[in-house]
Structure 1
Amino acid sequence: MNNSIQFENAHHVTLPNGMRAMLCHTPTASESFVSMAVRAGHFYDPQDCQGLAHLLEHMLFMGSRHLPKPNAINNFIEQHGGAINAWTGTEYANYHFSCSGDALAQTLPAFADMLRQPLFEEDALSKEIVNIHAEFEFKKKDDLRRLYQIHKETCNPQHPFAKFSVGNSDTFSKHNPGELKQRLKALHSELYCANNMRLCIASPMPTAQLEALLHQCFGSMEAGVLADDNWPELYTSEQLGIQINIHPLQAARRMIVTFALPALQNDYRCKPLNYVSHLIGDEGEGSLLAYLKHNDWAMNLIAGSGIEGDRFKDFNVSFQLTQKGLENKYHVVAALFSYINLIRQAIEEDWRYQEKSQLNALALEYEENVKPMGIVTEYAQHQFLFSPEELNILRATIGSYDKQALEHALSFFSPENLRLKVISKDVETTKACAFYEAEYGVEQIDPEILHSLNSPPLIDALVLPPPNPYLGGEYSLILPETEFNSPTTLIDNEDYRFWFAQDQQFHSPKGDIYISFDAINFSNSLEAVAAKRIWLGALNDYLQARYYRAEIAGLHYRIYGHQAGFTLHTRGFTDQQTLLASQLLDAVIHYIPDEKAFAHHKALQIQSLHNALLNKPTNRLFSRLSVLIQRNTQAPVELLDAIENISYQEMVDYRHAAFTGYFVESFMHGNWASDEAKQFADTIKNLCPHGGGRPLSRAVSKLPVGSTLFHEVACKHDDSAIVLYLQAPSSSLTDTALCMVLEQMLAAPFFNALRTEQQLGYIVGTGYVPHNQHPGMAFYIQSPQCSPKKLLDATTDFLFQQLHEIEFYRFYWPNIQQTLIKQLEERDLTLSMKSQRLWVSLGTQDFGFNRNVKLAERVKTLTFEEIQCFANQLAKRERCGELVLYSRGKFDEIPKLRKQTINSISDFKQQIAYH
């Protein structure tokens, strides 16, 4: 399947009623992608009914003239091989869907009907308000949402950004359902008109047919007028030069330095903000981050993010501070201004800009993981700002050096445009924000401090990056060797196995190298895993500045832990990748943190684990599910004690033991010749001389059939949540196929019954959940208003009813079958995706590298009678193991039999049988 979209040849249409559309013909694609941008974001909410635009977006899914039932549009799009979704932002709302390439003639009229002719039924309206309130409650314990609300309260109150964008039952209850319905109809009539909407479509349908379909679906829409966007300034002088102190829920010490800018992100020719963020965000030696780390002031830095609109932009530099950094926060800000001065002084050195442009060009030419839906959505909105000629070159423009544009952009990086957010439990606060009750305080930054930032100190340790040594000139392709089309072992000893495959599909100068260590002394106890996590954190920190230049030149690496040990993964351009992998592997083998690094990363691990315990209930439950099912996966709550108590010498001893008996498995896939692979295989062997280990088991718990196990996860959240997990008896093709099919059959009805109709919660869903390729499925709900017992009863009632009435699904079975076959037969979209699939196949010993193809064949031969039999066995509890995980929130626990309760994770793991 090829979903690449060539925007250079896009066809632009303006209908007689004023609607603009951008049509991209993708003749080889198997899917169509559609996005409609409407200038109807929350900025257009009436002052006395904030959240109305969001409610309107929800109501468009609740039935239209030709598809009157709630969520009928979702089911209709799913039946045509796709999915539909929407969001409401600041200035714009967006509605987008995908479908099978040949289904657009059926789906686009339904999409147009949804946008043009919503019903606004009062029953559905009342239910959707409940859902929006559940969504609001769900986000109340979200630090980002709380930060966003404080941002709104500290900007110009006359600017529409200050409005409460989400809405909840309190804001909507000020109006009776009849009034709300009229408000919705009025807002829809005003904003959902041809001149206020922009459409982007990428489809294999020929352009002439696509244009005719467009006229058919939208040609008779009311013309209307383009909504006004003449807002006041986002910040007045009173909202600049201020410090905002914020208490977070999670353990965090962050500082966000914000520069208030005009909409410079829309300068696509020079892209000045990309250049500035590229330099400020540098992590190499001599960088701002390296300097702050050396002083033990900061651990991380992100430059360039921040809210933006058609007429404004916040440029954020976000620091993750240490305690010492918090105490020296103004020194951190001064160092930032010192570095910005370096950028100003070097503006004549255009080679640095040209290098950034070359990096942009390489990224564009060899782009992977392109998400067509995201791009089509961007282009729908871009049509409000750019001409057709500009749109056709927008994505391909890599940036051209423009000294004046760069100087103009940098002129806004001044103390006068500064806002400072300090986020810590240690700061003083004076008030609580509306809706989310987050504590904060606002104070003026001392004028003397602001004045001093105009002449920041010259810091010798700060230097702009030198020419990138990893940036290659030309990237050539190797000659194919037929015997290496699929993974082949070059070395296979008891303690070392090396696989190699050439890329003969994507013809890209890229590749992936995986080197995995199974180390029993890094995985056989909580203390061993604690030592591994601290060591990995320190190792990655040690490598960050040394290899950052490689990272931005398209040579990426990750070193991460897994249940049996850890893995080094490099990817990107093959030129110099083996050298990078060798250097990284040498560091892996020899690096031992000093006591200062140990203490630092031990504290970070403790903070990270504490924060993990504050995750949303459904996230916590799925995390705990993995812990209970996978033998060597540990829970944060158990790891905390081990990490808090481990000493430096114990960490060193565990690390030493891990590297005296390990098994290495490696896979090299991409643009390499076999001679290069053989040479690299020997390099790994020489760098890892002390193997002697064996591959470790990835066994999964074997849940008992016929009874349900219960496990409560303590969670600091008012919402209750449950996950009902059904584990298939084996990982056979038949059990896997049946699990996949039944989950897909029940997904939409489960959502409609428990969320739309019964309104049990905002987070409601199902999922196919394999562990180490062992199949299973999960049903989950998170609720602010129902006890876990009620959620579980509703889930089991739904399941028993549906499983006993499975005959009802016979009509839908062919569509579900075709959708699943299509998903399983999808070709690898990128070289990296193929590398990952082959690597996973090696890990599960699928040496035919075709499990998905076999699964597709099994789904093709599956009869509805087999599905009925599976459903009947599930209903009688004769087929699958059952586990209920729950968090009680502010409610009572689920009453259950003592013998069915998992109280101790370690006891459960010692007593349970394994597959």
Structure 2
Amino acid sequence: MTTSLKLENSSFFTLANGLRVMLCHIDDIDTSYVSMSVKSGHFYDPGSCQGLSHLLEHVMFLGSRHLPKANSVNDLIESCGGSINAWTGTEYANYHFNCYSHSLKETLPAFADMLRLPLMDPDALDKEIQAIDAEFQFKRKDDLRRLYQIHKETCNPAHPFSKFSVGNAEIFKSVPLATLHSMLQQFHQQYYVASNMCLCIFSSLPKDEVKAIIGQSFSSMKAGSEAPSDWPELYQAEQLGVQINIVPLQAARRMIVTFAMPGLHHDYRTKSLNYISHLLGDEGEGSLLAFLKARNWVTNLIAGSGIEGEDFKDFNVNFQLTQLGLEHRAEILLALFSYIRLLYASLDDPWRYEEKAQLAALAYQYEDNPKLLNVVCDYSQYLFCYSFDEIPQLRSTIDCFDRECIENSLSYMVPGRMRIKTIAPEMDTDKVCAHYDAHYQMSTLPEEMLNALQSPPDIKNIFLPPPNPYLGEEYHLTLPEDGYDTPQQIFCSEGKRCWFAQDHQFHIPKGDIYISFDSAPFCESLTAMAAKRIWLAALNDHLQSKYYRAEIAGLHYRIYGHQAGFSLHTRGFTNQQTLLASQLLSAIHEFIPKPESFEQLKSRQIQNLQNSLLNKPTNRLFSRLSVLIQRNTQAPVNLLKAVQDCTYEQLLSYRTEAFKSYYLESFMHGNWSSEEAIHFGQHLDQSCPHANGAPLSRAVTQLPVGESRFHEVRCEHDDAAVVLYLQAPSTNLLDTAMCMILEQMLAAPFFNVLRTEKQLGYVVGTGYVPHNQHPGISFYIQSPSHGPKELLHEMTTFLFEQLQEIEFYRFYWSTIQQNLLKQLEERDLSMSMKSQRLWVSLGMNDLQFNRNTLLAECVSKLTFEDIQAYATKLANRELFGELVLFASGKFSPMETDPSTTLNDIAEFKRNTAYFTA
């Protein structure tokens, strides 16, 4: 069964001190989710110390009266099978955690103690300031952060949104330490009070038991009063009807049209902004997007996003522009306002609203397991905005057509309330924003443009969407059949294998279909891979408007490349899914890009690859790690040249060769009968007559044991970064289990020592990293203050010392073992998760579909002495292959022995040994 998140029967109450509480009982979960929202976001920062609320959020974890050690609440919650985190937003700060439900009586009082009685040790303040500054420095080259700061500088300076929300060392250290500590204490005393906080808990424990724990934990909190929120208007008159030019770091071209509105997003009955977004963001034939794409002006459109608060909402229409579109912005705006006029006309036909409501009702009724931690955080904040009676209705779909309400929302979508941000490298600018050094310019829109937009032309190629042909009249469940609860082979020939498993667990009318094509001609060279990349982009572009109606009716699809070729994945309602899959298969075999669209599609891929080269250093290093370890994965820097050089004739040639012979494997899982699955398998056989090849190897590089190999990745970024990858000797159960165990053991101390104590950088962590299911462990740091040589030295010193002193972890072994067993034994949380797990098992040729069960058995039998022995071999470099990837940033490169340095990727791949897969 899926977890049922129906909130209509939630309990609501207010403690005597004013703390508002929502308690939702959810059956069939063994984890509780807790969130506390505090009306103390950066809007409440003092002007003299902007970012103070963010600093306080960090300081809250430095110990409390009953748990005085820093981060002891984290340790407690981790020992109870969960994790804790926090964030600071505009109006609210939020603290949230999850844990085993039976541990709630232990964790909730500790959580309350942290919020009520933080110690705020002044001696620890400096490290938290450094941590925030590292976060700030890390984001200085993030285009979204730069855009956000320009937004702040071009709104009403009297509105608290204009404040710098993050904070940095320069701000905090401009205040004497004693004064800063006093400001933190005063801020906490004023805002961290019961009447200014709201608590939400999801748990399977009996409600009365949870209520008692809440009362014991929070009744002694000071009452206080709720913080005011009577802000001025977000924008002054001269900040509307404006054009803002912004020069980005990445090679992006965008136009964001913002309509300034009051807090209309709080309308939960009509949900007028959702309806407007639904129509404006339509991608089907006749849509605004389809019209603009046909002219090669835009490549994408997103409607409805934008900042929002208690009494304001930005409604954005975000256009991804082509170079030609940048030159035709005036025409794009005319088309936008022409479509907005059509939205008024749609109010004469309420069936479109009712169809949208039906789609929302279906999505709600058959919702896959939502991320409960995200939802509990949302609801703790909603307690500030809605009454107890209103809150249960927020997720339900009692949409109510109200013409007057929708017209009111549309009345704000006029030229005079518009702000246009144009983001492109070639824009004129005359200002530099604070903190992020982004160049921009704000100017008033010409009067003649505003007048023209008041009376846009009718455009015959733009029209409102017709009724959705993929919306089924009924969604029924198929009767379960014996023998199909695990994948069974329903068709097999020389070049095809088709599998089917029926859903016996979730009982919803949904399913997944995977179809993978292994095609050697698409993998034989960089040029072939470039041709595949452009062809897949062209295919997806061609299908976007044609099958958009299926997408919004809950029938989703992806066509994507992989190491051995490409795959088609459909998911969602089983009603008409085989029809959609069949239509997509026909398109895959028949579609040939037009010569006139080839160059623009190619230029898009060039821009995407160029932007990937501007990713943060750690992202670049992990991307390169996959390239070096997986035989048929290629580096963006090499693919870029191949895409640039690829011709239309080469694309056609490789596509033709790819479909002459290939290997096909499919898997169908969900609410179908075996008869339907067999019928679809037969259709696949007839539709794919050239599926007569052999599966291609997913070979993995075999790194030499006990020797380090080095590889430098050149990045356009000042930070240095290092990734140390340790490759297990095999894929057997013991090596896989030991990688998982050691990564979990070392994760917290690695972070605490190298980030918290030594302050080496903001991005510090570990990960269990399987490549084609071959296990490995990674350790990584990105640093603005230390070069790669120092970073690697600190990493290897830490690892050697910890592995040599593994006895220290004996006390933690039981908890780590329990947490790992919980992960391995955890049931599939949604049908799609189960489908993916079974599909991966088929790819590994694990036809018992029980690898996690076997891993759990292996972990349960391990003793701490087994781990000691394994760790000793690892420390002595007797087991694992080692690869060090580094980016130098502004620092001197690490000097490495030429004999152990990988410079030429292609040469390395030709000469290296491989594990077979």
Output the TM-score relative to the length of structure 1. Answer: 0.99
- State the Cα deviation string for residues 739-771 of structure 1 (Å, max 9, x = none): 100100011111111111111111111100001
What residue is the counterpart of 1:628 in the other structure? 628
Q: CA deviation at 1:27?
A: 3.7
What residue is the counterpart of 2:226 in the other structure? 226
Q: How far apart in 2 are the matches of 1:840 and 1:704?
A: 27
Q: How far apart in 2 are the matches of 1:175 and 1:726?
A: 45
The 3-state SS of whatever aligns with 1:348 is coil
Matched, 1:895 2:887: no
The 3-state SS of whatever aligns with 1:427 is coil
What residue is the counterpart of 1:269 in the other structure? 269
Q: 1:546-585 counterparts in 2 under 5 A?
A: 546-585=546-585
What residue is the counterpart of 1:779 in the other structure? 779
What residue is the counterpart of 2:287 in the other structure? 287
What residue is the counterpart of 1:141 in the other structure? 141
Q: How far apart in 2 are the matches of 1:806 and 1:866?
A: 11
Q: 1:235-254 counterparts in 2 under 5 A?
A: 235-254=235-254
Q: How far apart in 1 are the matches of 2:537 and 2:415?
A: 35
- State the Cα deviation string for residues 500-544 of structure 1 (Å, max 9, x = none): 111111111111111100001111211110000000000000001
Q: CA RMSD for the aligned pairs?
A: 0.9
Q: CA deviation at 1:94?
A: 0.3
What residue is the counterpart of 2:353 in the other structure? 353
Q: How far apart in 1 are the matches of 2:647 and 2:667?
A: 35
What residue is the counterpart of 2:912 in the other structure? 912
Q: CA deviation at 1:685?
A: 1.2
Q: CA deviation at 1:69?
A: 2.1
AA aligned opposite 1:568: L
What residue is the counterpart of 2:420 in the other structure? 420
Matched, 1:827 2:827: yes
Q: 1:9-20 counterparts in 2 under 5 A?
A: 9-20=9-20
Q: 1:323-334 counterparts in 2 under 5 A?
A: 323-334=323-334
What residue is the counterpart of 2:45 in the other structure? 45
Q: How far apart in 2 are the matches of 1:850 and 1:343?
A: 53
Q: How far apart in 2 are the matches of 1:804 and 1:616?
A: 33
Q: CA deviation at 1:398?
A: 4.0
- State the Cα deviation string for residues 579-629 of structure 1 (Å, max 9, x = none): 110110001011110112211111011000000000011111111111111
Contact residue 4 and residue 27 of structure 2 kept, 8 A: no
Q: How far apart in 1 are the matches of 2:322 and 2:398?
A: 37
Matched, 1:381 2:407: no
- State the Cα deviation string for residues 341-384 of structure 1 (Å, max 9, x = none): 00112212110100000000000001114111111100000000
AA aligned opposite 1:15: L
- State the Cα deviation string for residues 419-463 of structure 1 (Å, max 9, x = none): 000000111011111000011111110011112211111111110
Q: Any gaps of 5 or more consecutive residues in structure 2? A: none
Q: CA deviation at 1:562?
A: 0.3
Q: How far apart in 1 are the matches of 2:596 and 2:235?
A: 43
What residue is the counterpart of 1:304 in the other structure? 304
Matched, 1:801 2:801: yes
The 3-state SS of whatever aligns with 1:311 is coil
Q: How far apart in 2 are the matches of 1:719 and 1:114?
A: 34
Q: CA deviation at 1:5?
A: 3.1
Q: How far apart in 2 are the matches of 1:448 and 1:597?
A: 34
Q: How far apart in 2 are the matches of 1:799 and 1:346?
A: 64
Q: How far apart in 2 are the matches of 1:291 and 1:33?
A: 45
What residue is the counterpart of 1:154 in the other structure? 154
Q: Provide closer, same or farther for how the CA distance between residues 880 and 398 of structure 1 changes in structure 2, counting only shifts above 3 A.
A: farther
Q: CA deviation at 1:188?
A: 0.5
What residue is the counterpart of 2:667 in the other structure? 667
What residue is the counterpart of 2:5 in the other structure? 5
- State the Cα deviation string for residues 693-744 of structure 1 (Å, max 9, x = none): 1100011000111110111110111111111110000000000001100100
The 3-state SS of whatever aligns with 1:388 is coil
Q: How far apart in 1 are the matches of 2:548 and 2:369?
A: 22
What residue is the counterpart of 2:701 in the other structure? 701
What residue is the counterpart of 2:456 in the other structure? 456
What residue is the counterpart of 2:757 in the other structure? 757
Matched, 1:818 2:818: yes
- State the Cα deviation string for residues 142-196 of structure 1 (Å, max 9, x = none): 0000000000000000000000000001111111211110000000000000000
Matched, 1:589 2:589: yes
What residue is the counterpart of 1:193 in the other structure? 193
- State the Cα deviation string for residues 783-802 of structure 1 (Å, max 9, x = none): 11111111111111110110
Q: How far apart in 1 are the matches of 2:881 and 2:827?
A: 33
Q: CA deviation at 1:70?
A: 2.0
The 3-state SS of whatever aligns with 1:8 is coil
Matched, 1:68 2:68: yes
Contact residue 3 and residue 31 of structure 1 kept, 8 A: no
Q: 1:255-266 counterparts in 2 under 5 A?
A: 255-266=255-266
What residue is the counterpart of 1:343 in the other structure? 343
Contact residue 41 and residue 91 of structure 2 kept, 8 A: yes
Contact residue 82 and residue 99 of structure 1 kept, 8 A: yes
Q: How far apart in 1 are the matches of 2:123 and 2:585?
A: 62
What residue is the counterpart of 2:527 in the other structure? 527
What residue is the counterpart of 2:441 in the other structure? 441
What residue is the counterpart of 2:857 in the other structure? 857
Q: 1:679-694 counterparts in 2 under 5 A?
A: 679-694=679-694
The 3-state SS of whatever aligns with 2:250 is coil
Q: 1:13-28 counterparts in 2 under 5 A?
A: 13-28=13-28
Q: CA deviation at 1:689?
A: 1.0
- State the Cα deviation string for residues 654-680 of structure 1 (Å, max 9, x = none): 111111110000111111111111111
AA aligned opposite 1:283: E
Contact residue 3 and residue 30 of structure 1 kept, 8 A: no
The 3-state SS of whatever aligns with 2:560 is strand
What residue is the counterpart of 2:540 in the other structure? 540
Q: How far apart in 1 are the matches of 2:702 and 2:71?
A: 38
The 3-state SS of whatever aligns with 1:815 is helix
Q: CA deviation at 1:2?
A: 5.8
What residue is the counterpart of 1:656 in the other structure? 656
Matched, 1:515 2:519: no
Q: How far apart in 2 are the matches of 1:346 and 1:700?
A: 56
Contact residue 268 and residue 397 of structure 1 kept, 8 A: no
Contact residue 821 and residue 860 of structure 1 kept, 8 A: yes
The 3-state SS of whatever aligns with 1:792 is helix
What residue is the counterpart of 1:432 in the other structure? 432
The 3-state SS of whatever aligns with 1:828 is coil
Contact residue 3 and residue 27 of structure 2 kept, 8 A: no
Q: How far apart in 2 are the matches of 1:888 and 1:487?
A: 48
Q: CA deviation at 1:690?
A: 1.5
Q: CA deviation at 1:224?
A: 0.7
- State the Cα deviation string for residues 37-64 of structure 1 (Å, max 9, x = none): 0000000000010000000001001111
When structure 1 is superposed on structure 2, of 855-864 and 591-600 the one drifting more is: 591-600
Say how many residue pairs are matched: 915
What residue is the counterpart of 2:176 in the other structure? 176
Q: How far apart in 2 are the matches of 1:5 and 1:109?
A: 26
What residue is the counterpart of 1:82 in the other structure? 82
Contact residue 37 and residue 377 of structure 2 kept, 8 A: yes
Contact residue 4 and residue 369 of structure 2 kept, 8 A: no
Contact residue 195 and residue 223 of structure 2 kept, 8 A: yes
The 3-state SS of whatever aligns with 1:508 is coil
Q: How far apart in 2 are the matches of 1:4 and 1:777?
A: 36
The 3-state SS of whatever aligns with 1:12 is strand
AA aligned opposite 2:741: V
Matched, 1:215 2:232: no
The 3-state SS of whatever aligns with 2:914 is coil
Give me the identity figure in percent. Answer: 61
AA aligned opposite 1:376: V
The 3-state SS of whatever aligns with 1:389 is coil
Output the TM-score relative to the length of structure 2. Answer: 0.99
Q: CA deviation at 1:324?
A: 1.2
Q: CA deviation at 1:3?
A: 4.3
AA aligned opposite 1:149: Q
Q: How far apart in 1 are the matches of 2:718 and 2:88?
A: 26
Q: How far apart in 1 are the matches of 2:816 and 2:153?
A: 48
Contact residue 517 and residue 567 of structure 1 kept, 8 A: yes
The 3-state SS of whatever aligns with 1:360 is helix
Contact residue 3 and residue 372 of structure 1 kept, 8 A: no
Contact residue 702 and residue 913 of structure 2 kept, 8 A: yes
Q: How far apart in 1 are the matches of 2:4 and 2:113?
A: 29
Q: How far apart in 2 are the matches of 1:648 and 1:580?
A: 29
Contact residue 2 and residue 30 of structure 1 kept, 8 A: no
Q: CA deviation at 1:691?
A: 2.3
